Amino acid sequence: MKKFLDFITDEMKQAFAAGGYDESYAKVTLSNRPDLCEYQCNGAMAAAKVYKKKPIDIANSVVEKLQDSRCFEEVNAVMPGFINLKISKDFLAEYMNGMKNSEKLGMETVSDPKTVIVDYGGANVAKPLHVGHLRAAVIGEAIKRMGRFMGHHVIGDVHLGDWGLQMGLIIEELKDRKPELPYFDESFSGEYPKEAPFTISELEEIYPAASSKSKVDEAFRERAQEATFKLQSGYAPYRAIWQHIMNVSLKDLKKNYSNLNVEFDLWKGESDAQPYIPGMIQNLIDQGLAYESQGALVVDIAEETDTKELPPCIVRKSDGAALYATSDLATIVEREQDFKPDHYIYVVDKRQELHFTQVFRVAKKAGIVAPDRRMDFVGFGTMNGKDGKPFKTREGGVMRLEHLIADISDAAFRRIMENRTIEEEEAKETAKIVGLAALKYGDLSNQATKDYVFDIDRFTSFEGNTGPYILYTIARINSILKKFEQTCEAANETSILPPATEPEKTLTLALSRFSEVMETSYEELAPHKICAYIYELSNALNHFYHETKIIAEEDRKKQAGYIELVTLTRSVLLTCIDLLGFEAPERM
């Protein structure tokens, strides 16, 4: 189905052309004076300069050509040359019925689906998931789902930090605690145990203990570095411990992500990129791109058009060790080999922007990816506490994600119980769904790059621009439909009728923008635009509900039209929240 905006833009193009003006002036936008009109076109102003005419004369002649248009109910030229548009009610109804009968609510699947890699999550193995990882997971998951809805082939990769110093720290701490383990016996030649020498709760305690120790104990830190190096060079006993750490942690990580409704197609990590490093480095050297600087191997990335000076990308340290950039470049080599992606999207803390600029430029300079390949860095800001500083626990420590989720579910539970429309048992289950929605919507409704304040009271409120408000609107529709089923007679003919009142028209106008909003949000990788849209749509639905007798309506045909309209609204809302990565309870 054609996008709503395309329908009206095409009408406008024809009118400009018929008046003897270039079609390119026929750009139509949402009105910024909703009191006067619904859409507007300002093209006459730009055309005036080229055609050396008064803007109002051009506007008038275009308006004349639009008199019989089936899209508009009113078209006006106003000084100095604006064209104000009001949409025809019949046309809106036709479009609504098209949406309701189409497979994807009127959305066209893209004609040239792309292979897209979304690199998000980025958890570090053996370290607990904390709120810093929340945004990566939440935003990345939404972008992945949005891309799929457009029809692209989108692959989500968690890209674990599984190759760093934390591994050496755990190995050395384990050695101190259990020196008798075979991994630490150099003469051991048997097979290593299948069972891990620690449980997840032990592991969760080992890492922070080792990490604090390394901050005060210089010798311990050096040993950990040594162990990390040995692991990275393939020392079998340490590889065996590493495998245990991976097995135990991954199980836990998967559970945590799944509680967030976040699913990855690939559970790859930095370790998977290691085999690609030597070839990648050699390639950089052979092409004359990498050169030695103070013992390290670097690649220049500065470009003439840069507004600030960008340092070269270090691809190998002077001691021969690989760095973060090395591993990301090697990962691109691997991804090219496995998937040949058309588009790369990285959802990572915005403080890593320079790193990704360097990596993208080296990848393109070296021909690892084609120069015109789309590579996007979606950098996100920090989640702050009410004091404006990065969010902490009440004790000032790093908040674990599972505790955060528990807190917000509790808050949602209290809100639901205030309303007392459901039993406590059901309220508990519902609170989990509502809490997650509150958390995710609270995050996603902000532009990703911005910092935001985690405000549990505001996020869980049933009023205002919040997740629970959207869910509340869906629950309201559910209850209307249920009442209708129980008390009313179904009509034979069920189609959406031309809107007869202002609130009804506002609702249909909002619904008609669905495809457009989906497309723009994905194009700009901006889930917050979907949030803004469903907030507006929910407001429109609630206003319509307050102004319209649905269940008491006696005209069956009219009533059936209302029922179809709210059902369509529910489908749009449910589709959108699914793209944002949360669900709605039946009632709340």
Site string for ligand ARG, 304-343 (x = CB under 6 A): ------------------------x---------------
- Pick from 348, 404, 433, 537 the residue near ligand ARG by CB under 6 A: 348
- Asked whether position 119 contacts ligand ARG by CB under 6 A, the answer is yes
Six-digit token pair at 502? 């202002």
Judge whether 92 and 48 are in contact, CB under 8 Å. Answer: no
Range in contact with ligand ARG (rule: CB under 6 A) among 42-50, 116-124, 376-384, 472-480: 116-124
Q: Is 249 in the site for ligand ARG (CB under 6 A)?
A: no
Cα 119 to Cα 115: distance, rounded to the nearest angstrom: 13
CB of 21 to ligand ARG, least distance (A): 49
Find the residue with minimal CB distance to ligand ARG: 122
Cβ(7)–Cβ(39) under 8 Å? no
Cβ proximity to ligand ARG, 313 vs 517, nearer residue: 313
Residue nearer to ligand ARG on the CB measure, 161 or 168? 161
| Phi, psi of 299, deg, nearest 5 | -125, 130
Question: How many other C-beta atoms can be found within 10 angstroms of the C-beta atom of residue 240?
Answer: 16
- Contact between 448 and ligand ARG by CB under 6 A: the answer reads no
**Nearest distance from C-beta of residue 10 to ligand ARG, angstroms:** 42
Contacts for 459-463 with beta carbons within 8 Å, 24 or more apart? 459/408, 459/411, 460/408, 460/411, 460/412, 460/415, 460/434, 460/435, 461/415, 462/415, 462/419
Site for ligand ARG in 89-108 (CB under 6 A): none
**Minimal CA–CA distance to 378: which of 564, 108, 116, 20?**
116
- 182 or 379: whose CB is closer to ligand ARG? 379
Please tell me whether residue 122 binds ligand ARG under the rule CB under 6 A: yes
Instruction: Quote the least distance from Cβ 159 to ligand ARG, whole Å.
Output: 4
Query: With CB under 6 A as the contact rule, which of the stretches 119-127, 237-245, 246-254, 428-436 interacts with ligand ARG?
Result: 119-127
Whether the CA torsion 198, 204, 205, 206 is positive or negative: it is positive
**Is the Cβ of residue 135 or residue 159 nearer to ligand ARG in the bound state?**
159
Which residues, 6 or more positions from 407, have their beta carbon under 8 angstroms from its beta carbon?
A: 456
Q: What Å distances lie between residue 251 and 26, 125, 200, 243, 378, CA to CA? A: 56, 11, 9, 12, 28
Tell me: does residue 38 bind ligand ARG (CB under 6 A).
Answer: no
β-partners of residue 156 are: 118
Among 124, 326, 460, 538, which residue sits at the site for ligand ARG (rule: CB under 6 A)?
124
Closest CB 329 distance from ligand ARG, rounded Å: 10
For ligand ARG (CB under 6 A), the number of binding residues is 8
Asked whether position 61 contacts ligand ARG by CB under 6 A, the answer is no
Answer for the pair 86, 73: CB distance below 8 angstroms, yes or no. Answer: yes
Stretch that binds ligand ARG, among 52-60, 118-126, 241-249, 402-410 (CB under 6 A): 118-126
The residue ranges that bind ligand ARG (CB under 6 A) are 119, 122, 124, 159, 161, 328, 346, 348
